[in-house]
Chain A
Amino acid sequence: MFPDIPLSHVVIVSTLMFFIGVYGFMTRKNLFAILMSTELILNAVALNFVAFNYYLYPDKMQGLFFALFIIGIAAAEAAVAIAIIVAIYKNFRSVNVEDISQMKQ
C-alpha cells in the first residue's frame, strides 16, 4: 500500500469507524447492539495500531502483536458479555438496556 495510500487515509477510516461505534454504543437499546458497537470500537483500534506499525515502524512488530492480542481479548470479552446477557434474559425476560436499570428499583 505504501506509498500510494497515505497514512492519513487509513487513520481517517479507523477514526470514523471508532466514533460510529461510540455513537452506536450511546444510542442503541438492545444489549446485543451495544455489544456489536463495542466490537466496532475494538476493531477500529486494532486497525489504527496496525496502520501506524506498517507506515512508521515496518521492521518492528509491536502494532501487529497489539492487534493480535486485541482480537484474542475481544473474543474472550464477547463470550463473557454474551453469558451475562443470557443470564439477564433469564432473569428479566428482556435484553433492553433501559429495562435493566429500572427494574432494579
Chain B
Amino acid sequence: MDYSLSVWIILLPFLAFLITGLAGGRMKAIVSGIIGTASMAIAFVLSIMTAWSYFFASTQGAEGFAAISPINMVWLRFGDTLHIDLGVMLDPISVMMLVVITTVSLMVHIYSIGYMQGESGFARFFACLSLFSFSMLGLVVATNLFQMYMFWELVGLSSYLLIGFYYDRPSAVAASKKAFIVTRFADLGFLLGILLLSFTTGTFDFQTITNPAGPLITQPSSAMFMGASLTTIAVTLIFMGGAGKSAMFPLHIWLPDAMEGPTPVSALIHAATMVVAGVYLVARLFPVYALAAPSALQIVAWVGGFSSLFAAVIACTQTDIKRVLAYSTMSQIGYMMLALGVSGYGGENGLGYMASMFHLFTHAMFKALLFLGAGSVIHAVHSNEMKDMGGLRKFLPITHLTFLIACLAISGIPPFAGFFSKDEILVAAFQHNMPLFVIEYIVAGLTAFYMFRLYYRIFWSDSEHSHDNAHHTPHESPLVMTLPLMFLAVASATVGFLPFHELVTSDHKGFEAVMHWDLASASVLIGVVGIVAATVMYRRSSTLPDRIAEGMKALYTAAYRKFYIDEIYVFVTKRIIFNGISAPVAWFDRHIVDGTMNGIAWLTNAVSYRIRNLQSGQLQWYAFVLVISVIALGVSAFCMIR
C-alpha cells in the first residue's frame, strides 16, 4: 500500500497554522476555528486509514511489523554516514501515536470552538493549536534523532505560546517562561546525548541505531567514563531530556504552573501528547536501552516510580481541580516510564514495553476527557477551586456522566480501558522488580482515592454554599463542547479491548498475552478500596477529611506545599547561581573587560594630548624635526657603512 499520503497528516496542520496565523486577523474568528478543525479532521481520517492499512491490511513479514519510510530526504550532510534527514517513518509506535495525537487534537479543536468563543485571541489560539499539532506529529514520525530534536524544540515553543496565551496575566507569562526554561534545560542533556550517541555510531538514523543486529548494540563502545560506558551515559542524558518534557522528578516543576493556560491546551498538551514525548523517546530508543545500557533502564524505572508516588501524594491535598489533574498526569506518566524501565526486550520479556504504550494510548483518552470535563465545569462556575463547586451533578448531567466514566477508567475498574493497561504494567513490575511493584500498587490505590475525591467534591458534596444563591446558575455546556466529551467517553470505555500485544511490542512481533487473574483481582481490589475511602470521606461534606489532615499535620502541609521543591529551586538559583556565580562574572565583565576598554581609551587620550605638538603647524618646529631626522639617518647610514 502506498503510504505517501501519510506525509499529509503532518503537513495539513502546518498549512492550517500558516493560514490562520498569517490571515487569521482578517477573517471572521469562526473561520480560523473551522480551518483548524477541518485540517485536523482530514488528518484524523488519514491517520485512521494509515493505521488500518499498516496494522490490519498489510501482511506481516517474519520480522513482524516493518518500519516503513515513505519519505526520507537528506537535508544537511556532514560526512558520508553523518547527515540530518527529514522524513516520515511509520512503525508500530509512530502509527499508534499518529492516531492518538490526531484524535485528541480533533476533540480539542471541536471543544475549543465552544470554549474559546468570544475570546479576543480566537484565531491566534487555533493557529497555535495547529502549530502544536504539526510539531507533535512531526516528532513522532521522525526518522532520525536530529529531526526529532528539532520538532521537540518546536513542541516546546508551541507549549510556551499556548501556556502564555493570556499574555496580560503575569502568572501565565511566568508559567510559560518556567515551562520553556525547565524543558530547555533538560534538552541540554538531550542534545549532549544525541551528540555522544551519534559520535559512537556515526549516524543519527533511528533504524541504524536501534537495529538489534547493528553495530551499536552488538559491539558497544568500550570507552568508559566514570564507570559507565559511553552508550549508557548517552542514553541517560537523552533520558534527562525526556524527563524534562515528561515532568519527571525533579524537572516536574513546570507542569502544575502550566495549568495557567486555557483548559483545552491542558487537555491537548499536558495530558495526552506533549508530556508523553519523553516516554515516546525512550520507547523509540528502547532496543539501545534494553540491550546495550540496562543500568540506564534502571534509572528510568526508579525515576518513573518515584515520580508517580510523589505526585500521587501531592494530588491528595490540592484544591485546584486542574492542579489535581496535572499531578495525576505526572503520576500516570511515572507509570509509563516505570513500565518501560522494568521491561526486557523481545516476546514475553517485552511486556513492560507493550504495557507502557498501551497505557499511553488509554491514558490519552481518559485524561483528555478529564481535562475537557474540568473545562466544562470551570466554564459553568467560572472558578478552578473545589470550594466553589459541589452538587453540580444536577446541573451538568453529561459532564457528570463522562467524568465518572473517566474516573472509573483511571482507577482501573473493568471493563474500562484503564484496567487493562494498568494491570499489564503491574504484571510487568511484579515479574521484574518487586519493590517497584509495591510502590505502584500503593499508587494505584492513591490514584483511585484522589480521583474520586475530586469527583465527589465537584459533583456531590455541596453544603459549602447553595447554588441557588449564586450570581449565575451553572448550566450544561453547549453541544460543541459535550460532543467531544461523549466521544472520548466511548473511547475510554472501549479501547481497552484493542489487542495491543499483537500490534505494538518491543521487537515488533506479537506475543501471547496471558491473563494473570490473581494480579488482576488484586489491582481491582486496591482501586475499589480507594474509591470506598473517598466515598466515605467526601460524598457528603463532613469534617472527617479535616480531622485526618490534622492528625498528619506535617505530612499534609508538606504535600500541600508540593514538598517545597519550588522553594528549593528558587534558593538554588537565587543564592547559589545568581549570587555565587553570576554576580562575580558580572563584576568581572563590568570592571575588567570594560575596564580594559576604558583604560585603552584613556591611554590613547593621554598619549595624544602629549604628542599633539608634533603637528602644531609651527614652521621652525618642523624644520627642527627635519634636521634631526636627517642627522639621525646620516649617522645610522654612516655606522652601517663602517
**B532 smallest CB distance to A (angstroms):** 102
**B623 CB-CB contact with A under 8 Å:** yes
Q: Are A101 and B624 touching (Cβ within 8 A)?
A: no
Contact A22 B627 (CB under 8 A): yes
Bound Cα distance from A92 to B616, whole angstroms: 19
B617 at the interface (CB under 8 A from A): yes
Tell me whether A98 and B618 are in contact in the complex, defined as CB-CB below 8 angstroms, given that A22-B627, A26-B624, A26-B627 are known contacts: yes
A75 at the interface (CB under 8 A from B): no
Closest to B621 in A: A26
Q: How far is the CA of A22 from the CA of B618 in the complex (A)?
A: 16
With an 8 A cutoff between CB atoms, is B620 at the interface?
yes
Question: How many angstroms from the CA of A97 to the CA of B618 in the assembled complex?
Answer: 8
Interface residues of A in 78-105 (CB under 8 A from B): 97-98, 101, 104
Q: Is B619 an interface residue (CB 8 A)?
A: yes
B residues less than 8 Å from A25 (CB atoms): 620, 623
Judged by a CB distance under 8 angstroms, whether A62 is at the interface is: no
Q: Which of B596-620 contact A (CB under 8 A)?
A: 616-620
Q: Size class of B's contact patch?
A: under 10
Do A101 and B623 touch (CB < 8 A)? no
Contacts of A104 in B (CB 8 A): 617
Interface residue from B616, B617, B618, B620 paired with A27 (Cβ < 8 Å): B620
Number of residue pairs across A and B with beta carbons under 8 Å? 20
Do the beta carbons of A101 and B619 come within 8 Å of each other? yes
Residues of B within 8 A of A101 (CB): 616-619
CA–CA, A12 and B17, complex, Å: 98
Output the nearest chain A residue to B622 by Cβ-Cβ distance. A26
C-alpha spacing A72/B623, complex, angstroms: 24
**Would you give the shortest CB distance from B615 to chain A, in whole angstroms?**
12
Determine the chain A residues whose CB is within 8 A of the CB of B616 once the complex forms: 101
Most A-side CB within 10 Å, residue of B619, B623, B624: B619
Cβ of B219 to closest chain A Cβ, rounded Å: 85
- Structural contact, B623 and A26, CB atoms closer than 8 A: yes
Which residues of chain A have C-beta atoms less than 8 A from B619's C-beta? 34, 97, 101
Q: Could you tell me the distance in whole angstroms from the C-beta of B407 to the nearest C-beta in chain A? A: 93
Least CB distance, B332 to chain A, in whole angstroms: 85
Considering only residues 6-42 of chain A, those with a C-beta below 8 Å from chain B are 22, 25-27, 34
Could you tell me the distance between the alpha carbons of A34 and B621 in the complex, rounded to whole angstroms?
13
Q: Chain B's nearest CB lies how many Å from the CB of A20? A: 13
* Residues of B close to A34: CB separation below 8 A: 619-620
CA distance A97 to B619 in the complex (A): 8
- The one of B620, B624, B627 in contact with A97, judged by C-beta atoms closer than 8 angstroms, is B620
Closest Cβ–Cβ distance, residue A23 to chain B (whole Å): 10
A22, B624: Cα distance in complex, Å: 9
Residues of A within 8 A of B617 (CB): 101, 104
In whole angstroms, how far apart are the Cα atoms of A27 and B627 in the complex? 13
* In the complex, residue of chain B having the shortest beta-carbon distance to the beta carbon of A27: B620
A26, A34, A98 interface centre (most CB from chain B within 10 Å): A26
Which chain A residues lie closer than 8 Å to B627 at the CB level? 22, 26
Question: Complex formed: what's the CA distance from A22 to B617 in Å?
Answer: 19
Query: A27 vs B620: C-alpha distance in the bound complex, in angstroms?
Result: 7
Within 8 Å CB of A27, what residues of B? 620
Q: Report the separation of the CA atoms of residues A97 and B624 in the bound assembly, to the nearest whole angstrom.
A: 15
20 examples of A-B residue contacts, CB within 8 angstroms: A22-B623, A22-B627, A25-B620, A25-B623, A26-B620, A26-B623, A26-B624, A26-B627, A27-B620, A34-B619, A34-B620, A97-B618, A97-B619, A97-B620, A98-B618, A101-B616, A101-B617, A101-B618, A101-B619, A104-B617
The 8 closest A-B CB pairs, nearest first, are: A101-B617, A26-B620, A26-B624, A101-B618, A26-B623, A25-B623, A22-B627, A97-B619
Please report B residues at the A interface, Cβ cutoff 8 Å. Answer: 616-620, 623-624, 627
